[in-house]
Structure 1
Amino acid sequence: MKNILKPYWLLVSVSLPQLLIFVIMGWIFNIINSQLSEESIKLWTLFGALLGVFYISYTVYGIIRLLSKKDLHLKTGIIMFLTYIPYLYLYTMFSNKIIPSSIPDWMLFGISPNMLIVALVMPSMVVAMLICVFWLTPFKFGMLFNKKNLPILVVPAFWFVFFTALVPLLHAPFRSDYDHFTAMAFVIGTVVFLFIIVKLIYNLLSKRPEIWKKVVIPLVTLGPLFGLTLNNEFNIFGDFSNGYFYILAIFTGVLLVLPSSSNKYIRALLYIMKSITFTFSAYFFMIFLPYLPFSLLGLLLCGLGILLLIPVAQAFVHVRSLWDDFKFLAQHFNKTILLIVFICGASLIPALITVTFNNDKGQIDRALKFIYQQNLSVENEIKIDTKALTRSLDFLRENKASTNRSGNVFSNYRTPLISAYYNWYVLENLTLSEDKIKAIERIFLGKKHQNNSEGMMLQNDTGRVQTVFVDKHNVETVFAAKDKFYRSWVHLELKNSNSSEAFNAQFRSTFDLPEDCFITNYYLYVNNNKKYGMIADKRAANWIYDQIVTIRRDPGILSYIDNNTIEFKVFPFNINESRSTGFEVIHKKPIELNIEGQKIKLGSTSNEGGSVSDEGSGSAIDIIDGATIVPYEAKKELIKATRSPFYHFVIDRSLDSKGKGQELVECVQNYIKKNNLDYKNISISALNYNLKKLSADGDWQSGYNKLQAEGGLYLDNALKSIYFENYSSKSHNYPAVIFVSNNISQYSLTGNYDALKYLLPDVKSFYSLTPDGKLFSHALDKKAVTLDMPAGAIVPDEVIPWPGIDDIKAYLSADNSTSIVLNKSDYEINMDKASSYSLGTGFMLKAAAASMFLHPEKTADKTLEIVKASIKSGFMSPLTSYIVLENKAQEKVLLEKQKQILSTKKSLDVGEPTQMSEPSLVVIAIIAAAFVLVVRYRRRVKGMV
């Protein structure tokens, strides 16, 4: 045990863990400092400075002893106790002021500062304990009061002055001297108790092995099993229900109680297996280390506190057993080889976990990339191991960042540390929404999920009953003659009703913006202060909005929900409360907005300095390389045309088609014959999650029947591939996609088709053909596929060939809106022009968003590009939102979440924050509360006597 005096233990237990404290707590302080009172900031400074002094002192001391090749002084342990115990005690007393209850958990990104401090200081306490045990064995009481030890008394004297002088200055007196004395007595008693326990274990291991053997068998075999079983009834410490925990508990226990062998090969085998299972013992040692100070209280209250000590005792036994084997084997083998064997063995379990997680990561990444980021310019076909994917999705569901599945606040259904590692390694600390998990299951596994349109209602939408209305509005419009556009401010007075449902109400409205109209600013009055909004990634902005409304603060948000539809939300409203808000738009010509029945006219019908519509009529405006804007005035002069349909029959080859393939084939044949279709205007494909083209003018029936029925029906794969090919080839034919299936209403769309308004403006729907020969139409702007729109003959809408009928480069919508033409499909934003305040900037952002439809494989890069350009210009885009937050802390959280989202290349979602401090602080709170109740009960009983 003399090795505990090596200086590197001081660096490992103090320098490394506590460096994390400064990094993480500094990051937290940077976020929340604007929400802290002056008193709280003083406490942050004080406790940070004290910990800094301890950190520097012990680190410098450890480095000096290491360089001089000297062991730590025997009294180092006592000094560490006399610094860290009072520090933790006082930190706990003031923790509610250091992190006030007004700071919500999501603002800390799931990190528990209190548990962080305890968990990362505890290693130094363990080392201090072991040093003390070594120093005081054999223990003589007089050793503590040797004259040489008198300087040590300066430390507790410092803490006495610190407590008696500083606490009154901070105006935080304790409730009573009795409570304070009781708490201090508990801390001292716990330290003495743990010292005696550790000393007893050390003595038994060193001097009474025959007694230890009688104790170790139930301790390291039955104890862990009993503890795992008891915990799995309530999941207080985490989810350890996986069978591997039980297997490793039994295997580790058996290894530790096996008698030592004099055969070097048998001993080497035991050494290897103990090295492998050492990770198991070390894992539970780390998990239960923060609970160690409460083991005495648990023992006094219910006798189960001994279970908190078992992981610690097992770790000691494991280390001692490994060390004995190492010393024996060092006589027969090279020490370096033995050390390498230990490192490799201890790394095996983490490596296997990582390999398993990496498989999940690969399965999920491949599935997401195929669904959401497929390269449409190449032929895509994927092979999926459905069993592996099923297991990956099941495990992902178990590890989603949801602390409580059952609704019981005392339960924790995540596996400590391992769940956090999974969320970091596989999901990059984001999450995968249930909608996307179901989409993967539906597409690759053929699972059926209820097909409804309630998805939006399932989102956090506090105050869904609309009791807030637009009481009045005011408009300010200025015509910028030089730039040829209007700048209009729409000022709204929102008022809540006096009904019983009006408490904490939310204003939510949607309204349409014309094509050449863009939102460039937003404000909301918060606590009588006019606050202007900030532009952020739409996912991050809506995430923080949903978080804030749960604590009833004051956010407001504007977002696109499709091409030209804006969602507007403000929260909260008390009964009869009025709140002022408004937004700025720039627009090319006078327009009218309809917000909650209020018709709001922007701009004058008379030419104030000349209307844009009067100048440049009939000409296209080339705003930037790669995109052309064609206004309605220019389109009026062009010839309209109707494209003739080209029929794309896509036949179901999913699991649903099993045994029904011939029926679907005959359905296609009958439709072709009935409508006298020319095979030159037909393509036939088979679809499950892969799209397989068949020879329309050959024996396509045999080709179809040879394909295996598997998976689900991935409608978007066919739609996007066909539309991309039609757009890229500048086809003169309308792509009439007809799905042939007996169960298409069980499926839904996963993609967004808003960009088709600019790319293929006549494509607004697709079709399905049922086995009985009925044709149905399905709108592309609806996710659910329902059989409620019977279709007759397929007649496409009119379009305008651009620039003319003889040289068609694109098709424009034949309506009164402005059209966008991508001169190249892979459109890139010119960041130099993104800062210009003009209509062209707004169109540039829309053109970039449309380009994402053609190049989903570049979604991450293009999203980052659009968000940056939107922030730089101040123009809200389809991928960004304008949001007003109550304070600077919320804005910093928003920026952190935005950074996290934009840094990933995957199609992941914003979810609940990952709880990084393991295990839960709830357990400690329960134990401490029980202790307080016992103390108060005893006081009451004494008072009655």
Structure 2
Amino acid sequence: MRTLLNPKWLWLLNTLPLLVLLTLLRATYDVIHTLLPAESQHLWQWFGGVLVLLGGLHAGYATWQWRRRATLSGGYAVVALVAYTAFLYIYCYHLSGLIPFDLPRWMVAGDLPLYVGTFLMPTLAHAVAVLVLRLTPEDKERSPLPSFGAALAVPVAWYVFAQLVLPLWQVLGLDRVGGGLKKLGLHGVVVMIIAGTLIFLLFLARGVYILASRRAGRWGQYQWAWKVLITGLLPLLGLAINNGQARDYLSLGVGTDNFFGDFDGPWWYGLAVLNAGLLCVPTPTKPRVRLALYLGRGITLSYTFYFFLVFLPLLPLSVVAVIAIGVGFLLLTPLALFIVHVRELAQDYAMLRGFFSGRVLALGLAEAAAVLPLGITLHYYHHRMVLHEALDYVYAPDYARSYRPIDAEVLGNTLQVIDQYKTSVFRPRPSFTGARVPYLSAYFNWLVLDNLTLSEEKITTLKRVFWGSEPSGSASGTPVSRSDEETPTARPTLTQLAARSHYDARQRAWVSWLDLTITNSHGSGSREYATTFGLPAGCFISDYYLDINGRREPGILAEKRAAAWVYSQIRNESRDPGLLQYVSGNRVALRMFPIAAGEIRFTGIQLLHKEPLRFRIDDHTVALGHAATPPPAASTPAVPEPTSAVPPVPGVAYVTAAEKATLPVVRRQPYYHFLVDMSAGKARYQARYQCQIDALVARQHLSGDDVRVSLVGTYVTTLPAASRDVNYPAAGRYEGGFYLDRAIRQILVQAAEQPQNRYPLIVVVSADFNQAILPDNFADLRHAYPESDTFYELLEDGQLVPHSLDTESISRTGPALTKPTAAAPVVAWPDAQRPAAYLPANGQPDFVLATSHLDVPEAAIRQRDWQSGLLLQGLWRARLHHPATTAPAEVSLIQHSFRSGILTPLTAYLSLENEAQKAALRRKQEQMLNGHRALDAGEEAQRMSEPGEWLLLLAGAILSFRWLRQRKARLARSAS
């Protein structure tokens, strides 16, 4: 342990944590500094300067001592303790100035106020250790009783103070003193409480250290007894009380289960017993046996150190707990256990040093201590891989791949942990730290979730896909949007829609602005305007603005999830955001808030379009462009201007309405694709399914080429073309949920990728269609079903119930039919002999992606350019067809969107009020881009806080002072 006197430890325990702390504080200050008043900015600069000064002094002292080959002195430890404790006390006193009450809390990490205490803790703990070592030289044997007596004197003195001094305080009238004197007295009492707590912990640690060092005399003779008590009985009792298995021993009432963390499980008790056995076993004399014991103790060192960290914040409260609560001394057990454990390892090292090299022993101890952390890391990493595998299957699948079953048990455990880690007003905090398992929760959140989360909707979807479980009602803790509670007539309305257009000859396209006037003429209070509108083919959004406080604030193009999260946070602050984003297919949503009663707000959207068109939002329609301008050439390919040096990008084309009118009309014949429900619990319907299919095939006179069958459970298995036997042996498992979404998307993507003279007519065969897992619609794949947006549910009596692929797919769209409705004709592009795509014969322009994989060079993307918009649309459609292979390309698509300024389904336009909001958006966007695309950044995605040890020390001092004041008041009442 005396290696802690080496000055090199100061670099590790002071300089490195300070660098991390200053980096974190700087990142936060860069976001919020524009919102801080001058006084708060000065406080940030002052405290930052003091931290730099303290770090510099530590680094200089460590370097000086190292060059002198000297060790750390006791004087250094005293100065460090006084300086850092004073700094923390002043920091707590000015905390409300550093983070003002009116500062939006979503811009500041939930644990920011605890950063300072957390990262200064290593320096303070090291200073205490240095002081203990300096007060306990090894030149002679010492008794632990004086140290234990000095530690015990602190709670005794507090008790005497409460019994004698406080009543005298009232008798002398000192409690009625006001002004600066009273404030000075309060500071003095708090400082005494902090000093008393430090003295208590210092001498307690010294007593345990001396006790662990004794090998002779009475203390050494009965060391097995106190070792069993400290390393075995007290830890097991503490676990039992925390987990509610010995609640009667702790007089805190109900609701105390897992107060310190969820340590319920055989691993925690097993490690406690193993650790006690290794520390209490008699010391062997054989070097190799002693080495094995040394390594075994090294393995459980991380277990001891973990509980030392968890309970370190509560050590300041231990003085009060010892006085007020019968088993408060259990809070001191991890400290005593840690000292005993480290001392045993030091003695093992000293003995083994005569037989093995110091480097081998140090390396062996490091490797042994890493066993448990490495095991936890591998365990969490397995959870990460299984979660990502499940997310990829559901949200970024490869439609051509056959998936092996996912480890559903691990996935279930992961989802359960994620659900428990969420925080909301509807969920109690799982422990005093706010985490299910202190520190390990934060590590899990970082390693498995990239400090993001999964929304309630996605958790429910994963449960339904892999287990077929039903949604558990309203489990979400996300507050309901106020706009969702309002009736449509009470919302602000679009009162005027104006348009201004000009033709850009360079890009041979129209540039149009839509100017919207929004009025809140109903109700009272601030309300949100929300609407959706459709974009015609070849029409792109390239800019956005919102008038805020008399100025025109341009929209920022950002990653969609980050933009939606920032909008939600600002909306809760009743500030001025505006959000523009794709919702599904070609539908775009516009939201803006707040609009006060009687207020008129102005916002605008810029569009790029190839042809003149009529545009509709709500009940207003305007003309964009005019027919007097010569129309562009038909079938415009997505290539730059001929005079440009940008190379052409084949595979993407815009088909004008005029060209579509010249294309050959084709009437394709359908083939029936049956999707059979193979979810859990449906095995008893197997014969019924077969009869339903056979009856429909016979009634419609279908041949073998007219029928395909896919078995749909968690996974989708398409049977060979010649088979329609639902008991096909290769896929006859009834398990999981009825994942109809995946099956339909797989069919549609295949139809779009491989256009043929036949189209799929989808027929669902299920005993309970309402159990099907379906999205709201399949509008993103509208190009894959040009004939009709209808698919059918086959009833037991043979009738077909129509459902829509475009809207509310789970709902019926009409009465049951005896046969499918005839499909509309389509046109073949570019010709009927070798068609690359089939398009609806609707007289409207269209877009074609004529290649499976689209490679767009960066040089082909230009600012607010129509051709670039066409390329981005092609990239998005390629992503829809190949989500698995384009996952890395999503970041490239987002960057192309930023470069061009053109809105895509992966980005959103957001107008913000101030620079702090913009900085917060950039920070959240970076976090989202570095995580898995299926993870979310909802309100439940806050980082889990861990305790700031010395801030809790100060809190303990304040609580102690309040307890003493209440004690004084009770004495006064009893005296009267």
Pick the TM interval, shorter chain.
Answer: 0.7 to 0.9
- 2:588 pairs, out of 566, 569, 575, with 566
Q: Which residue of 2 aligns with 1:283?
A: 306
Change (3 A) 1:707 1:920: farther
Change (3 A) 1:732 1:672: same
Q: Which residue of 2 aligns with 1:147?
A: none
Do structure 1's residue 461 and structure 2's residue 481 form an aligned pair? yes
Q: Which residue of 2 aligns with 1:446?
A: 468
Q: CA deviation at 1:571?
A: 2.0
Q: Which residue of 2 aligns with 1:130?
A: 129
Q: CA deviation at 1:819?
A: 0.7
Q: CA deviation at 1:512?
A: 2.9
Q: Which residue of 1 aligns with 2:152?
A: none
Q: CA deviation at 1:22?
A: 1.6
Change (3 A) 1:50 1:875: same
- Deviation larger for 298-307 or 53-62: 298-307
- 1:715 pairs, out of 724, 729, 740, with 740
Q: CA deviation at 1:425?
A: 1.4
Change (3 A) 1:2 1:650: closer
Change (3 A) 1:877 1:292: same
Counterpart-to-counterpart distance in 1, 2:586 and 2:332: 62
Change (3 A) 1:120 1:304: farther
What is the 5 A alignment of 1:775-924?
775-782=800-807, 785-786=810-811, 789=814, 790-791=816-817, 792-911=819-938, 912-919=940-947
Percent identity (aligned)? 28
- 2:235 pairs, out of 224, 230, 250, with 224
Do structure 1's residue 739 and structure 2's residue 764 form an aligned pair? yes
Q: CA deviation at 1:341?
A: 3.3
The residue type paired with residue 359 of structure 1 is H
Q: Which residue of 2 aligns with 1:146?
A: none
Counterpart-to-counterpart distance in 2, 1:932 and 1:457: 37
Change (3 A) 1:304 1:37: farther
Do structure 1's residue 601 and structure 2's residue 610 form an aligned pair? no
The superposition leaves residues 635-671 of structure 1 with CA deviations (integer Å, 9 ceiling, x where unpaired) of 2233332211012223333323313222212221111
Q: CA deviation at 1:298?
A: 4.5
Q: Which residue of 1 aligns with 2:705?
A: 680
Counterpart-to-counterpart distance in 2, 1:888 and 1:240: 44
Counterpart-to-counterpart distance in 1, 2:525 and 2:848: 48
The superposition leaves residues 551-570 of structure 1 with CA deviations (integer Å, 9 ceiling, x where unpaired) of 33322211111223221212
Counterpart-to-counterpart distance in 1, 2:521 and 2:587: 26
Do structure 1's residue 522 and structure 2's residue 538 form an aligned pair? no
Counterpart-to-counterpart distance in 2, 1:93 and 1:776: 69
Q: Which residue of 2 aligns with 1:94?
A: 94
Q: Which residue of 2 aligns with 1:54?
A: 54
**Aligned residue pairs, count:** 902
The residue type paired with residue 843 of structure 1 is L
The superposition leaves residues 194-238 of structure 1 with CA deviations (integer Å, 9 ceiling, x where unpaired) of 222222223333354457665554343343344444445254443
Counterpart-to-counterpart distance in 2, 1:752 and 1:928: 59
Counterpart-to-counterpart distance in 2, 1:408 and 1:653: 39
Change (3 A) 1:646 1:706: closer
The superposition leaves residues 517-557 of structure 1 with CA deviations (integer Å, 9 ceiling, x where unpaired) of 33322222334443221011111111111222223332221
Change (3 A) 1:570 1:342: same
Do structure 1's residue 727 and structure 2's residue 752 form an aligned pair? yes
Corresponding residue SS for 2:922: helix
Corresponding residue SS for 1:656: coil
Change (3 A) 1:356 1:399: farther
Q: CA deviation at 1:794?
A: 4.5
Q: Which residue of 2 aligns with 1:197?
A: 204
* Kept after mapping to 2: 8 A contact 1:35/1:889: yes
Change (3 A) 1:683 1:24: same
Counterpart-to-counterpart distance in 1, 2:583 and 2:353: 69
Q: CA deviation at 1:100?
A: 2.3
Counterpart-to-counterpart distance in 2, 1:185 and 1:657: 71
What is the 5 A alignment of 1:400-549?
400=422, 405-406=427-428, 412-449=434-471, 460-464=480-484, 465-466=486-487, 467-470=490-493, 472-473=495-496, 475-480=498-503, 482=505, 485-497=509-521, 499=523, 502-549=524-571
The superposition leaves residues 145-179 of structure 1 with CA deviations (integer Å, 9 ceiling, x where unpaired) of xxxxxxxxxxxxxxxxxxxxxxxxxxx99982222
- 1:344 pairs, out of 367, 386, 405, with 367
Change (3 A) 1:246 1:782: farther
Q: Which residue of 1 aligns with 2:263?
A: 240
Q: Which residue of 2 aligns with 1:149?
A: none
Q: Which residue of 2 aligns with 1:934?
A: 963
* Kept after mapping to 2: 8 A contact 1:106/1:913: no
Residue ranges of structure 1 left out of the alignment (5+ in a row): 141-171
- Deviation larger for 905-914 or 112-121: 905-914
* Kept after mapping to 2: 8 A contact 1:620/1:630: yes
Counterpart-to-counterpart distance in 2, 1:107 and 1:782: 37
* Kept after mapping to 1: 8 A contact 2:526/2:596: yes
Counterpart-to-counterpart distance in 2, 1:559 and 1:702: 45
Q: CA deviation at 1:314?
A: 1.4
Counterpart-to-counterpart distance in 2, 1:457 and 1:565: 28
Change (3 A) 1:478 1:442: closer
Q: Which residue of 2 aligns with 1:119?
A: 118
* Kept after mapping to 2: 8 A contact 1:826/1:854: no
The residue type paired with residue 803 of structure 2 is H
Counterpart-to-counterpart distance in 2, 1:492 and 1:936: 62
* Kept after mapping to 1: 8 A contact 2:558/2:910: yes
Name the TM-score, length of structure 1 as normaliser: 0.87
Pairwise CA RMSD: 3.4
Counterpart-to-counterpart distance in 2, 1:645 and 1:602: 39
Change (3 A) 1:940 1:135: same
Corresponding residue SS for 2:830: strand
* Kept after mapping to 2: 8 A contact 1:517/1:586: yes
The superposition leaves residues 334-374 of structure 1 with CA deviations (integer Å, 9 ceiling, x where unpaired) of 54443333223211211221222122122222222222222
* Kept after mapping to 2: 8 A contact 1:620/1:634: no
Counterpart-to-counterpart distance in 2, 1:702 and 1:72: 78
* Kept after mapping to 1: 8 A contact 2:494/2:618: no
